[in-house]
Amino acid sequence: MKKVLAGLVAVVALATPGLARAEKLVIACGSVGKEADLCKQGAEAWAKKAGHTVELMSVPQDAGQQLAQFQQLLAAGSSDVDVIRIDVVWPGLMANHFVDLKPYFPDDVLSQHFEPIVKNNTVNGKLIAIPWFTDAGLLYYRTDLLEKHGQKPPTTWQELAASAKAVLDAEKKAGNSKLVGFVFQGKAYEGLTCNALEWIDSFKGGTIVDQSGQVTVNNPKAVEAITFFAGLVGNVVPKGVLNYQEEEARNAFQAGNAVFMRNWPYAWSLANSKDSPVAGKVAVMALPKGGPDGKSTGTLGGWQLGVSKYSKNEKLAAELVKYLTSAEEQKRRAIEGSFNPTIKSLYKDADLLKANPFMGNLYETFVNAVPRPTITGAKYNQVSTEFRNSVYSTLSGKGKAADNLKKVETKLKSLGKDGKW
């Protein structure tokens, strides 16, 4: 009986040459709540259309841990994942493991995206990933609390600290003991690098390592910036922030327990969702300047989609990437999850602007976001870790900013001798 069945199957298979086999693709995209849902929906929509299946691989929440996992996976030459979501600072670190996507993306498609990001994703002439969404650090604040206590949205960090203190003092007197002034990402991970870079840049203290590869982190403005923020820890910034990543900060803010929060745009749609205690009471603006002579800035974030060199279905994986990074999908993700598109024309789309007005009036912030020093190439991870560790030590009271920044300068200089990385 078995033989007959096998024979029948063989005949059917031979007789229907046009029927392509249903392949299974694995994609590693975000694991944090909404983002994972959106990714899943997008991937499944493509799968249905294309007649294949897509499975999601879960990844750790911490970007640094994700990097470690991917490095191991790719170093092992594993074909267990096809499409990988990579951070804007990783192309230099992982270039050898990815497929050149130029053959699959004609120029007219590529030119729809922001050029700097496409350039960022091109390593030695190889286009290793397509931009998926872009990010910049923003300041969230409670409109109701500021109004109640006669405070205006701050234009400098110093004003923010003063406002936060004023609101805190008044609220504590009224019995609200849970409220804190300002929350951000203070745990010693990549998120702290982003936050600290914003602080330094907002005081016009440079970008750790400049465009030509010279180490600039130890300068008076940078020291001033880090000292200022270290001083906030323990009064308007609770010590617990030293263990916060994005979600912890968002939880505190969304539960109504923080006056100010620094976070990425994704928190906007969540803060305004129907079961959020602060829905309708929050506003978002560009980060404050570091004093009247400073500048308003935000760290460039954002993620891209690349195809692993070891994938068994390169062509299909490229198709999946094409679908997910298309204008239609990027618009959906922007409206439902506040993920900033990388396609320029979408910033004029009426529906998108209705859901996320800040994407219109903060356009300049996104376009001029300060990038992290990826000039350091394969050593970026180490540079970032040394930098953020010195900031973390200062924030947690271990040493003054001046000493810690001097130490990290020495270390970075030994890593990138004469600006050669």
Q: Are strands 24-28 and 83-87 parallel, antiparallel or unpaired?
A: parallel
**CA–CA distance, 383 with 379 (Å, rounded to integer):** 6
Interface with other proteins (CB under 8 A), residue from 347, 385, 400, 403: 385
Least Å from the CB of residue 33 to other proteins: 5
Least Å from the CB of residue 343 to other proteins: 26
**CA–CA distance, 240 with 178 (Å, rounded to integer):** 13
**Residues between 83 and 102 with contacts to other proteins, criterion CB under 8 A:** 93, 96-97
Q: Does residue 136 bind other proteins (CB under 8 A)?
A: no
> CA of 371: how far to CAs of 36, 62, 198, 365, 405, in Å?
25, 19, 10, 12, 20
Least Å from the CB of residue 98 to other proteins: 12
Which pair of structure tokens corresponds to residue 168?
Answer: 């805190």
> CA of 277: how far to CAs of 158, 325, 355, in Å?
28, 33, 19
Q: Which stretch binds other proteins (CB under 8 A): 6-14, 221-229, 251-259, 356-364?
A: 251-259
**CA–CA distance, 176 with 255 (Å, rounded to integer):** 13
Q: Are strands 24-28 and 53-56 parallel, antiparallel or unpaired?
A: parallel
Q: How many residues bind other proteins (CB under 8 A)?
A: 59
* Angle 273-279-281 from CA coordinates, rounded to 5°: 155
Least Å from the CB of residue 379 to other proteins: 8
Q: Does residue 381 bind other proteins (CB under 8 A)?
A: yes
Least Å from the CB of residue 19 to other proteins: 27
Query: 209 - beta bridge partners?
Result: 215
**CA–CA distance, 223 with 301 (Å, rounded to integer):** 24
Least Å from the CB of residue 269 to other proteins: 10
Q: Does residue 67 bind other proteins (CB under 8 A)?
A: yes
Q: Which stretch binds other proteins (CB under 8 A): 14-22, 118-126, 207-215, 386-394?
A: 386-394
- Our CB check for other proteins shows the closer of 47 and 81 to be 81
Interface with other proteins (CB under 8 A), residue from 229, 392, 394, 408: 392
Least Å from the CB of residue 304 to other proteins: 19
**Residues between 166 and 185 with contacts to other proteins, criterion CB under 8 A:** 178
HSE value, Cβ hemisphere, 13 Å, CA-based, for 375: 16
Interface with other proteins (CB under 8 A), residue from 84, 167, 252, 286: 252
**x/- letters, 21..60, toward other proteins (CB under 8 A):** -----x----xxxx-x--------------------xx-x
- Closest to 165 measured CA to CA, from 182, 144, 152, 178: 182
Q: Does residue 254 bind other proteins (CB under 8 A)?
A: yes
Q: Where are the alpha helices (DSSP H) in 24-152?
A: 33-50, 63-75, 91-94, 107-110, 115-120, 143-148
Interface with other proteins (CB under 8 A), residue from 248, 314, 336, 403: 248
Rg (CA), the chain: 23
Q: Does residue 367 bind other proteins (CB under 8 A)?
A: no
> What's the one-letter identity of residue 322?
K
Secondary structure (3-state) at 404: helix
> CA of 258: how far to CAs of 261, 276, 410, in Å?
7, 14, 37
Query: 27 - beta bridge partners?
Result: 56, 83
Q: Does residue 311 bind other proteins (CB under 8 A)?
A: no
- Our CB check for other proteins shows the closer of 64 and 416 to be 64
Q: Does residue 378 bind other proteins (CB under 8 A)?
A: yes
Interface with other proteins (CB under 8 A), residue from 7, 220, 240, 357: 240
CB 53 within 8 A of CB 25: yes
Q: Which stretch binds other proteins (CB under 8 A): 9-17, 143-151, 163-171, 389-397?
A: 389-397
* Angle 406-235-174 from CA coordinates, rounded to 5°: 165
- Our CB check for other proteins shows the closer of 159 and 336 to be 336
Contacts with other proteins by CB under 8 A lie at 26, 31-34, 36, 57-58, 60-62, 64-65, 67-69, 71-73, 75-78, 80-81, 93, 96-97, 178, 186-189, 238-243, 247-248, 251-252, 254-255, 257, 270, 273, 275-276, 378, 381-382, 385, 389, 392-393, 396, 398
